[in-house]
């Protein structure tokens, strides 16, 4: 449900504004609304705070892996923030961490370059630079060459050269060019050595490595001792940014001596607001929302529905005059997810993972740990639902439970019905059930739309919507009553005729009462044409929407078939003898882990689509509301 809100307007003396804003921030329940039509650019103070916030976030991301703890597990320390954030001790630590990171970034390629030089110089040993200078003065130029061991043995046994070293593959040797003598071509690769001596290069490598280790140790120490202080600094910057943003939303009056501030607060927080106002020296006005207000939205649901509010927020907050779709999304998303998974064994694993996340252990696991942080309660609920639905469908880790239930028992008969044809049809029981669930989901959506539109626009403007509800929902109810024998054929026919006539009046004649009132003749001509167009859209749209729910059956069938295939492969390997048992276990494990992950992705995406597209479209939900963000 959507919490009721009230609007509060303050007039604050400009000298008291900063203190007033800090007190309001401490209260933490007021959503500040932009006052008037303002197009002010962000002040430099706010831009500087944003840059500081980005720097702190970058350093925290750098230090967190070194600490071995997640940021929300580290208690906030004392940031040492006084009047200036920039001069605080914690910010000095942030700047030092940035300097270290910059230095480390520069050191790594330098060390890599020197190591490459050392690798080139090492086969040549220590080069006597003084001797080389004397050779150069005498007109002798050395050439550093490399050749394979085999090629050197074949080509250079009689050549006047000097072998320096060799390894298992190459020979490193010197050849000499004497000034004034004809140069003979040497079929070997010539190298250009770095100008520096090997000893100097290795000495610098050792120095840079030691410096790098010292800087890394300093970062490690900072992560262990000061992470809480930097987290506290981040909170202080966030608080300062919130105050600056709140100031941007205010406007000045009475020659800039008065600051005008407007905001919203939940009605249930009124006692706290009243206590705050009793202590403040500020003029204020309090009122309820009107139709033109952009009221911030705060959702308030029971414990089960609250787990799924994150899904509603993914699409968009409802408007204040809409209804919160979460109470409908929560049970249907859970049911859809469980059907798509369709395996009790997978449901148990998902539920256990949810418990690990609730206990704070799951984020230490690979792949999906951090991604599902904060969703442990929802994951657990989805796992429990998947377990129950999997047992109802008779699947456990790809095994068909009907094969393990004694024949002739009620449970065996139940699984035969679930795995067979829907009574009176040639369609699969599970496929027909998925379509029936979809029809119920869409009927609820259409009823919600009719009630919501009536509330917003009045009954006269929504007669066509109610007529479609009567035709579709009423027709389905009458058909079901006839199928179960409650209504006779004659009674069913008469009721259908009445429903058809009443619905036709609403769809083709009363779909726009305002048009009839303005021009009755024009309404008699245009309204039926508009009704025909609406009929085409409704028929084609509803047919596609209903068929979309077949995906529930298809995904359940695909996951079960893939799990069964992995079991079959594992059984075939295990049948070759006890020596193959380990290979079979590996196939079982890898196969079911892969199937679980693939099924979980599909079981999240497709139920989300059925709610965001099919349900929201037919319920008239727009999701254009603004979230409630109190100044804290």
Residue 384 banded pLDDT, cuts 50, 70, 90: very high
Residue 585 banded pLDDT, cuts 50, 70, 90: confident
Same structural domain, 289 and 310: no
- Residues 62-84 have a mean pLDDT of 66
Residue 234 banded pLDDT, cuts 50, 70, 90: confident
Residue 344 banded pLDDT, cuts 50, 70, 90: very high
The top-scoring range by mean pLDDT among 274-278, 335-339, 580-584 is 335-339
Determine the pLDDT at residue 185.
67
Contact 315, 620 (CB under 8 A): no
Same structural domain, 416 and 329: yes
Domain boundary among 240, 266, 297: 297
- Residues 102-121 have a mean pLDDT of 89
Distance CA 615, CA 473 (A): 15
Task: With respect to residue 53, please indicate whether it lies within any of the assigned structural domains.
Answer: yes
Is residue 519's pLDDT more than 80? no
Residue 184 banded pLDDT, cuts 50, 70, 90: low
- Please state the φ and ψ torsions of residue 122, each to the nearest 5 degrees: -60, -40
Is residue 79's pLDDT more than 70? no
Determine the pLDDT at residue 625.
85
Task: With respect to residue 280, please indicate whether it lies within any of the assigned structural domains.
Answer: yes
Number of domains in the chain: 3
Task: With respect to residue 214, please indicate whether it lies within any of the assigned structural domains.
Answer: no
Burial of 241 (0-12, 13-18, 19+ CB in 10 A): middle
Same structural domain, 409 and 475: yes
- Please state the φ and ψ torsions of residue 234, each to the nearest 5 degrees: -60, -40
Determine the pLDDT at residue 279.
80
Determine how many CB atoms are found less than 10 A away from the CB of residue 339: 27
Torsional class of 552: left (φ above 0), alpha (ψ -120 to 50), beta (otherwise): alpha
Determine what percent of the chain falls in helix, strand and coil, rounding each to the nearest 5: 65, 10, 25
Residue 337 banded pLDDT, cuts 50, 70, 90: very high
Instruction: Tell which residue, 109, 129, 111, has the closest CA to residue 119.
Output: 111
- Residues 52-74 have a mean pLDDT of 77
Same structural domain, 529 and 593: yes
- Give 562 or 579, the one with higher predicted confidence: 562
Task: With respect to residue 122, please indicate whether it lies within any of the assigned structural domains.
Answer: no
Is residue 158's pLDDT more than 60? no
Task: With respect to residue 204, please indicate whether it lies within any of the assigned structural domains.
Answer: no
Contacts 24+ apart (CB under 8 A), 15-19: 16/281, 16/282, 17/247, 17/259
Determine the pLDDT at residue 513.
73
Task: With respect to residue 123, please indicate whether it lies within any of the assigned structural domains.
Answer: no
Global pTM reads 0.75
Is residue 348's pLDDT more than 90? yes
- Give 81 or 75, the one with higher predicted confidence: 75
Is residue 122's pLDDT more than 70? yes
Q: Which range of residues forms the domain containing residue 75?
A: 5-99+228-297
- Give 517 or 232, the one with higher predicted confidence: 232
Same structural domain, 374 and 417: yes
Distance CA 39, CA 440 (A): 48
Is residue 74's pLDDT more than 90? no
CA–CA distance from 233 to each of 40, 44, 73, 84 (Å)?
Answer: 28, 20, 16, 11
- Residues 460-477 have a mean pLDDT of 84
Radius of gyration in angstroms for the set of CA atoms belonging to the chain, rounded to a whole number: 38
Same structural domain, 526 and 379: yes
Task: With respect to residue 548, please indicate whether it lies within any of the assigned structural domains.
Answer: yes
- Give 254 or 17, the one with higher predicted confidence: 17
Instruction: Tell which residue, 158, 190, 185, has the closest CA to residue 172.
Output: 190
Residue 50 banded pLDDT, cuts 50, 70, 90: confident
Same structural domain, 440 and 309: yes
H helix or E strand, kind and range, residue 476: helix 475-483
Is residue 388's pLDDT more than 90? yes
The dihedral sign for the CA sequence 92, 97, 100, 102: negative
Same structural domain, 390 and 406: yes
- Residues 570-594 have a mean pLDDT of 81
Determine the pLDDT at residue 161.
67
Determine the pLDDT at residue 214.
92
Tokens 């859209």 belong to 537
Which DSSP letter does residue 88 get? Answer: S
Question: Is 395 strand, coil or helix?
Answer: strand
- Residues 164-191 have a mean pLDDT of 76
- Residues 544-549 have a mean pLDDT of 88
Same structural domain, 377 and 326: yes
Domain boundary among 192, 218, 240: 192
Residue 623 banded pLDDT, cuts 50, 70, 90: confident
Burial of 133 (0-12, 13-18, 19+ CB in 10 A): exposed
Which DSSP letter does residue 220 get? Answer: H
Average confidence score pLDDT of the chain: 82
Same structural domain, 366 and 458: yes
H helix or E strand, kind and range, residue 286: strand 283-287
Domain boundary among 297, 312, 345: 297
Lowest mean pLDDT segment, chosen from 183-187, 468-472, 519-523: 183-187
Same structural domain, 86 and 156: no
Task: With respect to residue 414, please indicate whether it lies within any of the assigned structural domains.
Answer: yes
Determine the pLDDT at residue 157.
57
- Residues 382-401 have a mean pLDDT of 91
The dihedral sign for the CA sequence 227, 228, 231, 233: negative
- Residues 210-226 have a mean pLDDT of 89
- Give 440 or 580, the one with higher predicted confidence: 440
The top-scoring range by mean pLDDT among 16-30, 227-241, 597-611 is 597-611
Same structural domain, 471 and 588: yes
């Amino acid at each position: 449900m959507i919490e009721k809100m009230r609007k509060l307007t303050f007039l604050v003396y400009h000298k008291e504004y900063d203190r007033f804003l800090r007190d309001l921030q401490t209260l933490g329940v007021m959503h500040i609304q932009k006052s008037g039509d303002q197009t002010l650019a962000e002040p430099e103070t706010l831009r500087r705070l944003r840059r500081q916030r980005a720097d702190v976030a970058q350093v925290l991301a750098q230090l967190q892996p070194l600490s071995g703890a997640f940021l929300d597990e580290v208690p906030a320390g004392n940031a040492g923030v006084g009047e200036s954030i920039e001069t605080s001790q914690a910010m000095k630590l942030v700047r030092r961490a940035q300097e270290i990171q910059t230095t480390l970034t520069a050191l790594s390629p330098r060390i890599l370059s020197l190591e490459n030089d050392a690798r080139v110089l090492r086969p040549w040993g220590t080069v006597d630079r003084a001797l080389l200078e004397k050779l150069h003065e005498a007109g002798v130029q050395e050439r550093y060459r490399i050749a394979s061991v085999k090629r050197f043995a074949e080509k250079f046994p009689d050549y006047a050269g000097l072998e320096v070293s060799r390894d298992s593959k190459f020979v490193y040797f010197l050849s000499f060019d004497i000034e004034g003598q004809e140069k003979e071509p040497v079929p070997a690769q010539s190298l250009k050595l770095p100008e520096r001596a090997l000893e100097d290069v290795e000495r610098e490598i050792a120095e840079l490595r030691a410096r790098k280790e010292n800087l890394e140790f300093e970062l490690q120490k900072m992560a262990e001792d000061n992470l809480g202080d930097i987290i506290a600094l981040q909170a202080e910057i966030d608080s300062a940014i919130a105050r600056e943003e709140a100031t941007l939303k205010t406007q000045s009056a009475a020659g800039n001596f008065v600051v005008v501030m407007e905001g919203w607060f939940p009605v249930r927080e009124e006692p706290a607001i009243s206590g705050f106002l009793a202590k403040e020296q500020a003029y204020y006005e309090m009122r309820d929302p009107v139709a033109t207000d952009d009221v911030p939205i705060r959702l308030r649901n029971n414990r089960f529905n609250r787990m799924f509010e994150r899904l509603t927020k993914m699409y968009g907050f409802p408007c204040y005059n809409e209804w919160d779709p979460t109470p409908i999304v929560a049970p249907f998303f859970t049911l859809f997810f469980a059907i798509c998974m369709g395996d009790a064994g997978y449901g148990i694993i998902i539920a256990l993972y949810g418990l690990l996340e609730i206990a704070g252990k799951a984020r230490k696991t690979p792949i999906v740990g951090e991604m599902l942080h904060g969703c442990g309660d929802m994951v657990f609920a989805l796992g429990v639902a998947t377990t129950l639905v999997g047992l109802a469908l008779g699947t456990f880790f790809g095994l068909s439970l009907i094969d393990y239930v004694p024949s002739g028992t009620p449970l065996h008969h139940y699984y035969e019905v679930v795995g067979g044809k829907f009574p009176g049809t040639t369609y699969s029981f599970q496929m027909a059930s998925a379509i029936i669930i979809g029809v119920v989901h869409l009927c609820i959506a259409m009823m919600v739309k009719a009630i919501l539109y009536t509330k917003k626009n009045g009954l006269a403007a929504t007669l066509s919507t109610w007529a479609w509800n009567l035709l579709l929902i009423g027709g389905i109810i009458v058909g079901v009553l006839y199928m179960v024998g409650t209504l006779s054929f004659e009674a069913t026919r008469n009721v259908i005729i009445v429903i058809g006539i009443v619905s036709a009046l609403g769809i083709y004649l009363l779909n726009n009462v305002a048009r009839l009132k303005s021009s009755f003749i024009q309404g008699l001509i245009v309204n039926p044409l508009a009704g025909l167009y609406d009929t085409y859209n409704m028929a084609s749209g509803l047919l596609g929407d209903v068929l979309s729910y077949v995906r529930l059956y298809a995904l359940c069938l695909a996951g079960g078939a893939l799990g069964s295939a992995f079991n079959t492969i594992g059984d075939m390997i295990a049948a070759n003898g006890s020596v193959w048992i380990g290979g079979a276990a590996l196939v079982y494990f890898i196969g079911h882990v892969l199937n679980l992950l693939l099924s979980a992705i599909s079981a999240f995406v497709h139920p989300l689509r059925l709610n965001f597209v099919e349900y929201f479209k037919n319920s008239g939900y727009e999701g254009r509301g603004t979230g409630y963000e109190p100044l804290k």
